[in-house]
């Protein structure tokens, strides 16, 4: 499966090549259906979800116990998107048909009683019904946030926080069993989530420090809670970045926007995942590394295909997928 991961040269070919080059790269990577869907005018998101779930189905069958539980919870992010689509649709007073058209088909990984949820009359009933699903804990947390501030942002941010908190809880037993290769990937992932959220909430959305801190994942990896709380108090983005410990301070020394921070940390996570994948690390660590890289590939392919379809300049597409030379120098 790792042999299908995209190389920078393959990504360059996708950006600059002709249609035959595109089909060849996508076929070698197991992405042929994406090109067909785009040509047929269909959205790529459903195909991307199916490709990811097909990989996870194979990998989960080769694992058991806590490792399998972790992989299954990792897939919950896709159903999590369906859950948020239901909530957004209900808030916007969309019809059942309009909401259903936006839901991804998750096959054997689906757990939400979609038909029952679509028949609920209002947001309050939908939230109560969701509290009888496997997402009850997340929904209760989000409902309390929604009651304090009845907005889509309050729901989305509270649900996102609760999902990653659940992922950390599923990862904890494996961090001891699989050791540093697995725990380092989790640290890079959650630290990236927390730092990008903190910077975006504070410096793009202008939220007060106390609210920002409340919305972060209580994980305690390299970026500890006390440090994040202190950074959220700083008035400028550059001040927050200057207060980071190693290795983040070095990686982000030239970052000047939240998007730049996100791109650089995404590249560092990918580098760590590639190192784990080609090592003798425990199977769950290599599996997790593969899934991180595979999902990154799919995001980048989607950006390239959409960019080409819209006639966007290759230089802009390169920047969007992390092939921009300046971004790579910053991430080095």
Considering the chain, what is the average pLDDT of its residues? 89
Query: Mind listing the pLDDT tens digit for each residue in 162-199?
Result: 899 999 999 999 999 999 999 999 999 999 999 999 99
Contacts of 65 (CB under 8 A, 6+ apart): none
Per-residue pLDDT of 239-277, as tens digits, reads 999 999 999 999 999 999 999 999 999 999 999 999 999
pLDDT, residue 331, reads 42
CATH topology of domain 68-178: V-type ATP synthase subunit C fold (1.20.1690)
Three-state SS letters, the chain: CHHHCCCHHHHHHHHHCCHHHHHHHHHHCCCHHHHHHHHCCCCHHHHHHHHHHHHHHHHHHCCCHHHHHHHHHHHHHHHHHHHHHHHHHHHCCCCHHHHHHCCCCCHHHCCCCHHHHHCCCCHHHHHHHHCCCCCHHHHHHHHHHHHHCCCHHHHHHHHHHHHHHHHHHHHHHHHHHHCHHHHHHHHHHHHHHHHHHHHHHHHHCCCCHHHHHHCCCCCCCCCCHHHHHHHHHCCCHHHHHHCCCCCHHHHCCCCCCHHHHHHHHHHHHHHHHHHHHCCCCCHHHHHHHHHHHHHHHHHHHHHHHHHHHCCCCHHHHHHHCCCCHHHHHHHC
152-178 vs 283-309: helix crossing angle, rounded to 10: 140
pLDDT of residue 42: 61
Q: Which pLDDT does position 270 carry in this prediction?
A: 96
Where in the chain are the domains? 68-178
Closest to 269 (Cα-Cα) out of 161, 170, 195: 195
| Tokens found for residue 89 | 């649709």
How much is the pLDDT for 325? 54
CA distance 140 to 146: 10
The per-residue pLDDT for 327 is: 46
Q: Please list the ranges in the chain whose pLDDT falls under 50.
A: 327-332
């Amino acid at each position: 499966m790792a042999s299908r991961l995209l190389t920078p040269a393959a990504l360059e070919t996708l950006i600059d090549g002709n249609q035959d080059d595109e089909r060849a790269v996508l076929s070698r990577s197991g992405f042929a259906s994406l090109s067909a869907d785009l040509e047929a005018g269909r959205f790529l998101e459903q195909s991307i979800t199916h490709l990811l779930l097909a990989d996870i189905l194979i990998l989960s069958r080769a694992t058991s116990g806590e490792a399998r539980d972790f992989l299954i919870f990792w897939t919950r992010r896709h159903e999590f998107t369906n859950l948020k689509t239901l909530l957004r649709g209900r808030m916007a007073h969309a019809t059942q048909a309009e909401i259903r058209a936006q839901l991804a088909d998750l096959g054997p990984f689906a757990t939400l009683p979609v038909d029952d949820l679509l028949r609920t009359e209002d947001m309050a009933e939908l939230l109560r019904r969701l509290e009888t699903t496997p997402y009850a804990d997340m929904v209760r947390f989000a409902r309390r946030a929604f009651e304090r501030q009845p907005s889509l942002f309050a729901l989305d941010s509270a649900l996102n926080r609760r999902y990653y908190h659940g992922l950390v809880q599923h990862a904890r037993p494996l961090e001891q069993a699989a050791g540093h290769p697995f725990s380092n990937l989790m640290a890079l992932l959650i630290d990236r989530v927390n730092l990008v959220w903190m910077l975006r909430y504070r410096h793009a959305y202008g939220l007060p420090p106390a609210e920002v801190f409340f919305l972060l994942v209580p994980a305690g990896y390299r970026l500890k809670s006390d440090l994040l709380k202190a950074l959220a108090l700083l008035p400028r983005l550059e001040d927050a970045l200057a207060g980071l410990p190693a290795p983040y301070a070095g990686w982000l020394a030239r970052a000047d926007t939240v998007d730049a921070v996100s791109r650089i940390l995404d590249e560092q996570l990918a580098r760590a995942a590639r190192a784990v994948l080609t090592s003798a690390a425990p199977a769950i660590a290599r599996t997790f590394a593969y899934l991180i890289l595979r999902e990154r590939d799919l995001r980048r392919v989607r950006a390239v295909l959409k960019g080409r379809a819209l006639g966007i300049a290759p230089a802009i597409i390169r920047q969007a997928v992390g092939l921009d030379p300046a971004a790579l120098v910053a991430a080095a």
